[in-house]
Amino acid sequence: MSWSHEQVGENRYRESFGRYLEDFKVGDIYEHRPGRTISETDNTWFTLLTMNTHPLHFDAEYASKSEFGRPLVVSSLTVSILLGMSVSDISQKAIANLGWTDIKMTAPVFCGDTLYGESEVVEVRESKSRPTQGIVTVNTKGLNQRGETVCTFTRSVLVPKRGHGVDD
């Protein structure tokens, strides 16, 4: 994570984190920590919150007859956790999320699995219409505790240049 401390007075410091456009470099990889273990409660609450009624996510008897033999974590929870893990590194200073593409669920996720994330910067460019901002695009990968890739997606965010952020 990109955390720093800014002196805001004599003997007074304020924690600051996130990145400005100038801090991103194509090819850099940010490992998002800590990991997050998904509980059965997390999965059940998220299916209820999002009104996902597929029994594969919350009916153990139904899921026992599936090829997985047990309930699956709802895929939108997996994506949400990975996105949240990446905020401090990728979008803590962002003005807006511009979009997510190529979301792929590459392996099943089960309750009790621990997710880890990492994002690789694939593009950094100045905005054509906003001279004090730019667009950063990253490929994010989610891995389980065994190092297996379980999810990937591409994300673009609008980021201020140094000196033009809300907290500057």
112-139, pLDDT tens digit by residue?
A: 999 999 999 999 999 999 999 999 999 9
- What domains can you pick out in the chain, each with its CATH number? 27-38+76-160 (3.10.129.10)
Complete DSSP assignment for 118-151: EEEEEEEEE-SS-TTEEEEEEEEEEE-TTS-EEE
What is the spatial order of strands in the sheet that 114-126 belongs to? Answer: 29-37, 114-126, 133-143, 149-160, 96-105
pTM exceeds 0.85 for this model:
yes
Gap between the Cα atoms of 44 and 64, Å rounded: 16
- Rounded to an integer, what distance in angstroms lies between the CA atom of residue 94 and that of residue 88? 10
Q: What is the pLDDT of residue 6?
A: 56
Give the pLDDT confidence of 53-111 residue by residue, as tens digits.
999 999 999 999 999 999 999 999 999 999 999 999 999 999 999 999 999 999 999 99
> Which of 165, 91, 147, 82 is closest to 121 using CA atoms?
91
Q: What is the pLDDT of residue 10?
A: 74
- 14: confidence class by pLDDT, cuts 50, 70, 90: low
